[in-house]
Structure 1
Amino acid sequence: MAEKKEYRIKVQGQLVPVTEEIYLTYYRMKRRELHLEEKDARHGVFFYSGLDTGETNGEDAIPDLLSPHVEDMVVDKLMSQRLHQCIGQLTSQEQELIFTLFFQNKSEHQLAAETGIPRMTIHDRKVKILSTLKKLMEK
């Protein structure tokens, strides 16, 4: 009677008995992985993980081009704070108009229909207020 062959693979440093099918699949995958690494080496493919050190991760060196720069975020925040300070210097009627048009996203036509004030009057007031805000922002 032929002796049944035992198949083992190394898992976490220990040999574990497996079936022939698992053994063959495992070593095919290992050989495929080795083949792909050799192919990458021939074609000069570089992995950021090659830059890993004890303290840093090589992938951290990849610049994130989609995220806004910290400097831009700080400038935006400062500009926003300055704008709110300048809006605070306007009269209550001017503040209400700016709030309605820009923070509630109402159009000049909608505001004219709701208040009965002609649209061109609303437009002219808006232009004047924006000009005032620009001057205040430039101080």
Structure 2
Amino acid sequence: MLENKKYTIVVKSSCVEVSEAAYHAYHKAREAERYQYKLIHQCELSLERFQKDGVNVEYAAIRFESRIEDKIIEQEQLQKLWLALQALSVEEQLLIHELFFNDKSERKLAVELGVPRMTLNDRK
């Protein structure tokens, strides 16, 4: 004898009968939400969490603060990169822009430019 299994979910403090597909979709979404909350909680930096976990706030602030020296070095490197890019020919700039800034594949760009992929790779 086949048993008709009933599927219910709680909506605003009331049990509501739903189809099996809706039941599984609901619980799948709930599990995904719990997982996302867990990830967010792991990355959360708050005074309340530090106090609850017994973490020294000054230590945490120093640990996560980016150093001014690192920021200056990064800015200098970006300036040098920008100057190097400006020194390239228009064709070389196009190649770099399409491959690295627009994430275009070598294969696709080679087709668009009408050159063999290996030639494009060598130019890169």
TM-score (norm: length of structure 1): 0.44
Greater RCO structure (CA 8 Å; 6+ sep): 1
TM-score (norm: length of structure 2): 0.49
